[in-house]
Chains A and B, each alone.
Chain A
Amino acid sequence: MKMLSILPLLAILSVHSIASAQEKVPFKIGMQADLSVPSGVALGLEARLPHLPWFKLGLSGTYTLAPGLRGNLLLDPINFPIAPVTNVDVGWQSPFTVPGIKNSPSSTWTYCDLQGGLAVGSRDGFRFMLLAGMSYLDGNVSGLQGFVNTSQGVSFGDPHFNGWVPNAKMSFNWLF
């Protein structure tokens, strides 16, 4: 019964703390740079929305063997110098060929990274993060015709692929 009587008080306190947090957290913008598989090198902007200190939205240009584009949502719930974080990326890799391979087919894909990891530094300033997880890739390969020797009259469609691969990311984030 005592517990039940405390519940309304707890509810009032939590609403109050959320309201206070909402007042104290302004919109912030920053930069992010990372090195990852499958995105390659990425450089972009990140934004912390007002009232949501633990959510950061990002948009980056990426480059592996060709440019790409990636958006992300970072969940950074604990305001502490070392904290667990999770991240979701959605990206697109523009078509690329593999250098050094004669008549290399080209490949393009879209992907979604699901990652978890550890962040070090200030949540409102500089964060260094190590993340790992799995990526879902969906794409196709084109130009197989010149890559594989066949007899006359044989043609290949563009193979389509989808599946899961492991990912890893080393990331630097600054909020100004």
Chain B
Amino acid sequence: MNTHRFFFLPFLTVACVSAHVSETVSFDQEVFFPGVLLPSSVTQTVEQSEPLDVSEAVSKLKDLGSPSVSISENSLSGDMSFVSHLKIALENGNDPTLTLVDMDIAPGETVQQFPVLVSGDQLFSHLASPAKVRFWITGKLPSAGTALHYHLSLSVSEQINKSL
């Protein structure tokens, strides 16, 4: 190493930006499941989907560094007394469908926090393209239809290291 390079090395080492950024991204959506034609005594499955596009934000975060994502909340609220099984999945058209929730529901629940079957980073990777959240509910569904409120909250943190 040349002498002058050695002299400037400490200055080059400190002449960089080192920052930590933390952020919360939430998705709140009223999901309306239309009524069914069959009698309510019959167990049926209905499906609904809602768009979830945060691709621009994901792209900006990826430009800065490698974000780390954790799912802080994943819940559905409303009258779920008739729901016996729930499945929630994420589709973006490019990658295989990502199943977030696939579980039986205890009768009489109004708010449910669901453990998510995938990691936050897997979910974040899927959100790099415009996506859809698809819901399937199974149960003795009311003929008038029903609305449930879906809430997904992600904690994003990122370490940014840039040399000047």
B73 at the interface (CB under 8 A from A): no
Complex interface: chain B residues within 8 A of A154 (CB): 25-27, 52-54
Is A164 engaged at the interface, CB distance under 8 Å to the other chain? yes
Q: Would you call B20 and A163 a contact (CB within 8 A)?
A: yes
A150 within 8 A of B: yes
Answer whether residue B164 sits at the interface, using C-beta atoms and an 8 A cutoff: yes
Contact A164 B23 (CB under 8 A): no
Taking the complex as formed, is A176 at the interface, i.e. its CB lies under 8 A from any CB of chain B? no
| Stretch touching chain A among B11-19, B79-87, B89-97 | B11-19
B interface residue count range (under 10 / 10 to 19 / 20 to 34 / 35 or more): 20 to 34
Closest to B52 in A: A151
Contact A156 B50 (CB under 8 A): no
Q: Which of B1-43 contact A (CB under 8 A)?
A: 14-29
Cα distance A163–B50 in the bound complex, in angstroms: 37
In the complex, what residue of chain B is closest to A149 when comparing beta carbons?
A: B56
At the interface, yes or no: A5 with Cβ under 8 Å from chain B? no
B118 at the interface (CB under 8 A from A): no
On whether A153 and B20 interact (CB within 8 A), knowing A148-B56, A148-B57, the answer reads: no
In the bound complex, residues from chain B placing their C-beta under 8 Å from that of A144 are 57
10 A-B pairs closest in CB distance: A163-B19, A157-B24, A151-B53, A159-B23, A153-B29, A151-B51, A161-B21, A148-B57, A155-B26, A165-B17
Q: List 8 A-B contacts (CB under 8 A).
A: A152-B29, A156-B23, A157-B24, A160-B22, A161-B20, A163-B17, A166-B16, A166-B17
Give the B-binding residues of A (Cβ under 8 A).
134, 137, 144, 148-157, 159-166
